[in-house]
Amino acid sequence: MLFSMILILFLMFFILFVQYNIDRFNGKNAKFLWFEANVQDKASSTISPPQTPSISSVKNMNVGINNGHIGDETYTGIKQRYFSSDDGVGLLNSIEQFKINYKMELNLSHITIGYPGDKETMIVANQICEFLKSTGYKKIEIMHLITQGVIGKMYQVCNAPDNSIMIMLFPADNVE
């Protein structure tokens, strides 16, 4: 009797493990009996639709009630960044090159976009998300990152903690 109970439990966990990996590879939520694994809140897994950027001439690091205008507007003349079609071509080339370089280690079930969380990079992340969806990428995950500005670079393609492809956005520091 004890042996049969252990055998049944072992089979249940084995089936859970196999089904979980199959569902995870297909980008779906894994379900086993009445349990669900790797379920994310719908609000946190999608980016809101792109909004018309309202900031044109101010360094945008503040997401508070002043809509990104900082103090006495000391940082005038620094342009808001936008994701252009040339950036899109470069991003697709970077993604393909990254896939070639790291094809054995990658989790290709989704693409992760990581950004610092300020308004400007959120706008750029929304534009990248829409661009990737228009080019055929269906599942895009979002995460907040702590990054530093890099002169002349808006993004970098690297691997995320779950070994998916991650597009890491840099803040607006030192872009000009």
Tens-place pLDDT, residues 12-49: 888 877 877 777 777 676 665 556 655 555 555 555 65
Quick: pLDDT tens for 149-169.
677 788 889 888 888 899 998
Higher pLDDT, 105 or 72: 105
Cα–Cα dist 131/88, whole Å: 7
Higher pLDDT, 75 or 131: 131
Cα–Cα dist 152/80, whole Å: 14
At 145, is the pLDDT very low, low, confident or very high (cuts 50, 70, 90)? confident
- Would the CA dihedral through 95, 168, 123, 150 be positive or negative? negative
Instruction: State the pLDDT at residue 104.
Output: 79
Quick: pLDDT tens for 44-85.
555 565 555 554 444 444 444 545 444 444 455 556 778 888
Cα–Cα dist 29/123, whole Å: 28
Residue 5 has pLDDT above 90, yes or no: yes
Cα–Cα dist 96/165, whole Å: 10
Give me the torsion for CA of 102, 107, 110, 111, rounded to 10°: -30
Higher pLDDT, 14 or 172: 14
Cα–Cα dist 91/85, whole Å: 10
